[in-house]
Amino acid sequence: MVTFPEAKILEIDLTSGTVNMKTLPGEIYRLYPGGSALGLYLMMQDYIPGTAALDPGNVLVFSVSPLTGLPISGISRMNVTARSPLTGTAGDSQSGGFIASYLKMNGWDAVVFKGKAEKPVYLTIDGDQAQLKDASHLWGKVTGEVEAAIQEELGDKNIEVAQIGPAGENLVKYACIINKCSRANGRNGMGAVMGSKNLKAMVVKKGKPMAAADGEAFMTLSRSVRKLLEENEAVAGLGLNGTDGDLEGFSDEGFLPTRNWKTGHFPEGANNITGATMYDTVLKERDTCYACAVRCKRVVEIPGRVDPIYGGPEYETCAALGSYCGVTELADVCEANMLCNMYGLDTISCGATISFAMECFEEGLLKPEQAEGLELKFGNGAAVNALVKKIALREGLGDLLAEGSARAAEKIGGGAEKFSMSVKKQELPAHMPQYKPALGLVYAVNPFGADHQSSEHDVFLVMPPDSRERERLSKLGIWKGYDNPYELDSEKVRFALDSQKYFSVLDSLSLCQFVWGPSWELYGPDELLELCRAGLGWETSLYELMMAGERRINMMRQFNAREGFTAAEDTLPARLFEPFADGPAKGIHVNRDAFEAAKSLYYEMAGWDPKTGNPTEATLKKLSLDWLL
Amino acid sequence: MVTFPEAKILEIDLTSGTVNMKTLPGEIYRLYPGGSALGLYLMMQDYIPGTAALDPGNVLVFSVSPLTGLPISGISRMNVTARSPLTGTAGDSQSGGFIASYLKMNGWDAVVFKGKAEKPVYLTIDGDQAQLKDASHLWGKVTGEVEAAIQEELGDKNIEVAQIGPAGENLVKYACIINKCSRANGRNGMGAVMGSKNLKAMVVKKGKPMAAADGEAFMTLSRSVRKLLEENEAVAGLGLNGTDGDLEGFSDEGFLPTRNWKTGHFPEGANNITGATMYDTVLKERDTCYACAVRCKRVVEIPGRVDPIYGGPEYETCAALGSYCGVTELADVCEANMLCNMYGLDTISCGATISFAMECFEEGLLKPEQAEGLELKFGNGAAVNALVKKIALREGLGDLLAEGSARAAEKIGGGAEKFSMSVKKQELPAHMPQYKPALGLVYAVNPFGADHQSSEHDVFLVMPPDSRERERLSKLGIWKGYDNPYELDSEKVRFALDSQKYFSVLDSLSLCQFVWGPSWELYGPDELLELCRAGLGWETSLYELMMAGERRINMMRQFNAREGFTAAEDTLPARLFEPFADGPAKGIHVNRDAFEAAKSLYYEMAGWDPKTGNPTEATLKKLSLDWLL
């Protein structure tokens, strides 16, 4: 059996300003391999139930996996865990970039932040040396300025900076953490948790590359990426047009969330803001994460308006700050994306909250005087971009919208709640449950609110059985195909649950789903096992890994249970149950009876109490989580 | 994705004497790969709930797997499925030999027998030709005579014969099916089902060897056996001393069931009847199953007394017809084994029922007149062997004991029930739950009564973490070690359940657990996946396979639920909860509270109703078993 090395953890008590280095026995990896699972484990060791997300008692963990830093595609994810100020649940957020690899190259598996600094600080990590430094002079500055200033004062460009912008400082509920000025731990408001601790940034020095346990086998696996890249159209497309490559196609089918999800059809703007147009117009270059051959990351430039240091918009961003708001101009979307990356805002929740405000405005629930002169009508890109900044700075209407659409709706009243397209107060990503009902189920039951990266999407089940995609899903026991994606039968429920477990594995090994996803792109379950073997000497199985994935989900769910969450919070916005009034998908909607039945079935399949939706004692014991009882 | 070939099924209606050949879409293999899973699937298509086991309406299935017939060790198992007359549950029984391979070589996946022949018949299979032939002249004959007679009348020695002896004809509740005169589908009384159908034998002609999908990779895998054989002491020991190699060691530790389980210590006889003594004395040769390099099978000869055509005793036989009955002489055991193979009796239930009778006799519950002159005291080997024959022929006391210890106890009365060492009326195999509490739990919850081949044994968890055995268990997510085997905590319950699923996979692929078991001997989970890939082109995963294993268990459990079984039948004999009065294990017993807690926990982990122990609707749906609802 593999002998895992000890896990090395940095513990930072921000209140006292002390830095502590501790180790955990390597066996910890077997149950909590890394990433989100390790982050949750560490967070829950210190977090006292009932602590508010923005209280100094909240525990914020950056964590990576034992695989992180090995030179292979799709291995660059940085996990951040804390109680979420947006959802109130266990918060979970992943980003790409280089900082995760750097952290592991310095020997660290995780950094745990507790307490609250008296004044703004940032942490530097250089090998065994970790230091808290004053950040008062950086407070209030946007990310590009801060990164440059830190490089300057450390006299070093071989560093990575994960930081908050003004939005995090101002405790915007969906403030994110930005690294490389362009990669975000976007969701769940982890940036606000940093802000609440007066922690401006974590800076990590580049370290020495990691060595694989079986160097030769590892190289073979790593090299196979290029071959696969050549063969795989989806990957090539992802590399070419980024994640935004499908936007126009979604609109054509009638499933691009548009004007706060009132429709799925956006003919007047979809072509303008789709990936191919971006490629043909504003794209400056394609960027990458550590060791990755995919190069899905966009860098756009609009001279005098959009600075390429802030990268470029993903699909989610083009939808949320584009079609959600009815914005038809790519330049507006690119600028909005830049502002979010400068100020540190999650583009999805930000765009969705603005589109919510636009609908409230159009419906007369937000008065012109509340909008402070902004003509908050769908399609007004300038108003969107003005609001982004106001939100980050909590100015005027921005202060209300900084709370997210759900909380804002409560304050606005008058039925505004029905315009908040959110689950557990987190706004929906741009994949429509009307089209992907299993994904919709996951939106509802996912422990940290609506998320599109926590499970596979239904459409893969519509592919032919001899496709690479379907073949890989069969390894998860998912073999039934569908003629159309709209069904939500019991096999689909298992698909939701099992693919969710697999994605949970990826998040627990800090891997990117575009490369290691079960059904598409580069590597599948077999290669994942080979990665563990060649990379770490860990001869595991898909069964053991899936159990680890299931363990992580249940840890979050049990966290939530202790905070009072129940089945009542596992809902979808009412709008999704209403038939589309127009577009190619006219008449299509989520069937409420099917959804409710699927939700109950999901609970039982997951081993959760049918009434509360919380893990049963037996389920926790099955997953060696007795310590959470 | 693999394109499975169609499954070919022979359907024999014994009532009308018709033979029907049908195919099923190859996708069937994905859910019910073969062996027991396929047998259950086919049986449950035709079986009408409530049908008695010995009614013509019972459905009897012989089945193999798509892997059967490939030239590699441990691939020779023949599954037989029907409702069991002994337990009343879904009946399940596996044997070794060559007949499974022959059946598949002729192109068949399964043979389904329905109805009842007017007169005794036997079936011959030669390629696409299947014929029912008169067996009136064979009725009443013992297996050796019948096999010779069939070879003679077919003029062919390249055949395999699976047959019942007089015990099956006489509907002894634990009559078995014998092939090669020495291999038994021993448990669950499948021989009586054949007898009830007037089906004396199934005869299969040798066919052409099967070809692997990837011949080269398959040969590499197959050749690795010899290397492993040289390296692995346990396998070498199994080859050398057979399954009986550990008998004396069990007694030395105090865990060899002796004198109807009153003690675990048998110093007066253990050395006589242990494998090494057999090797040194009566062993004539070591025999093998199809393509297997292990050669664990014994052939013993005692001139004038024990004929080598009937093979030799396994460990279970040496215990049940030896230590259970206090019999100290190996020759007596060898003769008893021969008689069981001649007359077609399960050696475990037969020995255990006789040891039950001996205790009843010693306790005065069976009177000397009922024993008809037999001095039924522990240790009387001659009396044991006389009784074996009487049971098969249902003569005198044998008629009562032919019902098994549980039913006999009901008739004897006076508290005799407490001497029946059985679960669901099936007698316990010779592994003590006092020593292996997780196995004891499986004895209780296993759908077809006490069984020692349905899960891994606790003792493997006492091995060092870097042992090959433990490394393999870690692939099932089982990583916790124990200093002693006696604990029964929640991790052990999961060990019981998960290893049970894995053994269920083996039974569904018709593989031998000595070769493909998860924790010992030759091949483990990784090689199993490679076997599926190289052998069939099936790129599966341990996750998908474990789901198939779980599916089989739930099919049986649901069969039982329909027949009225509940948690009340998931028990252990009371004696196991009483401390040993003597021997090296003095004082040790199964802790009743721990057992009851473990049973409840097992139900919940398995997704079964906590009160009834039956699969929930969600669990059946999770396993694509909606059709059983």
Q: What percent of chain A is modeled with pLDDT above 90? A: 91
Same domain? A407 vs A447:
no
Beta bridge partners of A129: A126
Query: Where are the alpha helices (H) located in B9-142, listed in sequence order?
Result: 28-31, 35-46, 99-105
Q: Percent of chain B having pLDDT more than 70?
A: 100
Q: Look up the CATH number of the domain holding residue A257.
A: 1.10.569.10
pLDDT higher at B521 or B626: B626
CA pair distance A577, A595, nearest whole angstrom: 9
Tell me the average pLDDT across A485-512.
96
Domain end position, chosen among A396, A427, A458 = A427
Nearest CA of chain A to the CA of B8: how many Å? 22
pLDDT tens profile A579-596: 999 999 999 999 999 999
Yes or no, beta carbons of A526 and B543 under 8 Å apart: no
pLDDT tens profile B531-586: 999 999 999 999 999 999 999 999 999 999 999 999 999 999 999 999 999 999 99
pLDDT for res B3: 83
Dmax of chain A from CA atoms?
68
pLDDT, tens digit, 9 for 90 and up, residues A445-478: 999 999 999 999 999 999 888 888 888 899 999 9
Neighbours of A534 (CB within 10 A): 23
Same domain, B396 and B476: no
Q: How far is A7 from chain B (nearest CA, A)?
A: 18
Q: Are residues A289 and A345 in the same domain?
A: yes
**Of residues A1, A470, A621, nearest to B1 (C-beta):** A470
Does residue B364 form part of some domain?
A: yes
**Interface contact B479-A539, CB threshold 8 A:** no
Query: Is A520 a residue whose pLDDT tops 70?
Result: no
Over residues B380-403, the mean pLDDT reads 98
Give the confidence band of B465 by pLDDT, cuts at 50, 70, 90: confident
- Same domain for B132 and B188? yes
The reported pTM is 0.96
Confidence of residue B32 (pLDDT cuts 50, 70, 90): very high
Say yes or no for a CB contact (<8 Å) between A525 and B541: yes
pLDDT band at B91 (very low <50, low <70, confident <90, very high): very high
Residues B402, B441, single domain; the answer is no
Give the best residue of B543, B600, B628 to mutate against chain A (max A CB count within 10 A). B543
User: Do B251 and B277 fall within a single domain?
Assistant: yes
User: Tell me: the pLDDT tens digits for A556-587?
Assistant: 999 999 999 999 999 999 999 999 999 999 99
CATH code at position A462:
1.10.599.10
- pLDDT at position B236: 77
Average pLDDT over residues B340-354: 98
What pLDDT score was predicted for residue A228?
A: 80
Mean pLDDT of B139-152: 98
Helix, strand or coil, per DSSP, at residue B40: helix
Backbone φ/ψ region at A107: left (φ over 0), alpha (ψ -120 to 50), beta:
left
Domain final residue pick, B361, B392, B421: B421
Whether B476 has a pLDDT exceeding 80, the answer reads yes
> A516 lies in a domain?
no
> Checking DSSP bridges between strand A110-114 and strand A7-13, what pairing results, if any?
parallel
**Cβ distance of A547 and B27 shorter than 8 Å:** no
Q: Which long-range contacts (CB under 8 A, 24 or more apart) does B20-28 make?
A: B21/B128, B21/B130, B27/A479, B28/B4
Decide: B321 and B374 in contact? Cβ < 8 Å: no
Residues of chain A whose beta carbon is less than 8 angstroms from a beta carbon of chain B are 1, 3, 27, 30, 465-467, 470-471, 474-477, 479-480, 490-491, 493-494, 498, 525-526, 539-544, 546-547, 601, 603-605, 607, 616-619, 621-622, 624, 626
Q: Is A150 a domain residue? A: yes
Q: Chain B residues contacting A, CB < 8 Å?
A: 1, 3, 27, 30, 465-467, 470-471, 474-477, 479-480, 490-491, 493-494, 525-526, 539-544, 546-547, 601, 603-605, 607, 616-619, 621-622, 624, 626
Question: Over 90: is that where the pLDDT of B227 sits?
Answer: no
Look at residue A232 and tell me if it is in a domain: no
Between chain A and chain B, the number of residue pairs with CB atoms below 8 A apart is 116
How far, in Å, CA of A522 to CA of B15, rounded?
57
Is the domain of A260 the same as that of A370?
yes
Number of domains into which chain A is organized? 3
Q: Do A479 and B30 touch (CB under 8 A)?
A: yes
CA quadruple A453, A454, A456, A459: dihedral sign? negative
For residue B415, what pLDDT is reported?
96
pLDDT band at B239 (very low <50, low <70, confident <90, very high): confident
Contacts with B624 from chain A: Cβ below 8 Å: 480, 491, 494
Provide the pLDDT for residue B113.
Answer: 98
Whether the per-residue pLDDT at B520 is higher than 70: the answer is no
Which residues in B lie closer than 8 A to residue A544 (C-beta atoms)?
474-477
Percentage of the residues of chain A whose pLDDT score is greater than 70: 100
| Band of pLDDT at residue A521, cut at 50, 70 and 90 | low
Same domain, B414 and B443: no
Q: Considering only CB atoms, which chain A residues are within 8 Å of B461?
A: none
Is B621 within 8 Å of A493 when comparing Cβ atoms? yes
Average pLDDT on B359-363 reads: 98
Range of the domain at B343: 239-421
Q: From the CA of B495, how many Å to the nearest CA of chain A?
A: 9
Both A306 and A274 in one domain: the answer is: yes
For residues A288-295, give the mean pLDDT.
Answer: 91
- Mean pLDDT of all residues in A262-291: 96
Distance from the Cα of B546 to chain A's closest Cα (Å) equals 8
Residue A237, pLDDT score = 80
pLDDT 10s digits, B146-200: 999 999 999 999 999 999 999 999 999 999 999 999 999 999 999 999 999 999 9
Per the CB < 8 Å rule, is B544 touching A475? yes
Residue A518 lies in a domain: no
Residues 6+ apart with CB under 8 A from A568: none
Question: Chain B closest CA to A220's CA: distance in Å?
Answer: 19
What is the overall mean pLDDT for chain A?
96
Q: Which residues touch B578 (CB under 8 Å, ≥6 apart)?
A: B589
CA distance B304 to chain A (A): 52
The per-residue pLDDT of chain B, averaged, comes to 96
A564: its two tokens: 């009072």
Contact call for residues B554 and B629 (beta carbons, < 8 A): no
Question: What residues are paired with B13 via a beta bridge?
Answer: B18, B114
**CATH code of the domain covering residue A93:** 3.60.9.10
Q: How far apart are CA A493 and CA A499, in angstroms?
A: 10
Which band of pLDDT confidence, cut at 50, 70 and 90, is reported for residue B600?
very high
The crossing angle, in degrees rounded to 10, of helices B542-562 and B525-536 is: 90
Last residue of a domain, one of A182, A205, A228: A205
Residues A378-436 have pLDDT tens digits of 999 999 999 999 999 999 999 999 999 999 999 999 999 999 999 999 999 999 999 99
Across-strand partners of A121? A134, A199
Closest among A327, A298, A292 to A315, alpha carbons compared? A298
Chain A nearest-CA distance from B629, in A, is 13
Interchain proximity B605–A624, CB inside 8 Å:
no
Closest CA–CA distance from residue A27 to any residue of chain B (Å): 9
pLDDT greater than 80 at residue A234:
no
Element housing B13 (H / E): strand B7-13
User: Which of A490, A493, A543 is closest, CB to CB, to B546?
Assistant: A543
At B237, the pLDDT band (50, 70, 90 cuts) reads confident
Shortest CA distance to B179 belongs to which of B266, B258, B62?
A: B62
When pLDDT is averaged across residues A18-44 and rounded to a whole number, the result is 96
Q: Closest partner residue to A543 among B27, B477, B605, by Cβ? A: B477
Residue A518 pLDDT level (bands cut at 50, 70, 90) = confident
Is the same domain home to B288 and B402?
Answer: yes
| pLDDT for the residue A465 | 82
The average pLDDT across B88-94 equals 98
- Give contacts of A1 with chain B, Cβ < 8 Å: 465-467, 470-471, 474, 479
A chain contacts of residue B476, beta-carbon cutoff 8 Å: 541, 543-544
Q: Residue B1 above 80 pLDDT? A: no
Is B535 within a domain?
A: no
Whether A223 is covered by a domain: the verdict is: no
Q: What is the pLDDT of residue B582?
A: 95
Residues A291, A182 within the same domain:
no
Residues B380 and B448 in one domain: no
Separation in Å, CA of A4 to nearest CA in chain B = 12
**Which tokens in the block code for residue A67?**
């695989």
Maximum distance among all Cα pairs of chain B, rounded to whole angstroms: 68
Which of B466, B493, B622 lies closest to A605 in CB terms?
A: B622
Q: What is the ipTM of this complex?
A: 0.94
The enclosing H or E element of B548 equals helix B542-562
The helices-and-strands tally (H runs, E runs) of chain B is 25, 16
**Residue A294 pLDDT:** 85
Strand-pair category, B7-13 with B110-114:
parallel
Q: Is the pLDDT assigned to residue B596 strictly greater than 80?
A: yes
Q: Is residue B39 part of a domain?
A: yes
pLDDT grade for A209, boundaries at 50, 70 and 90: confident
CB contact under 8 A, B490 and A626: yes
A599: nearest CA partner in chain B: B618
Half-sphere exposure at residue B409, Cβ-oriented, CA atoms within 13 angstroms: 24
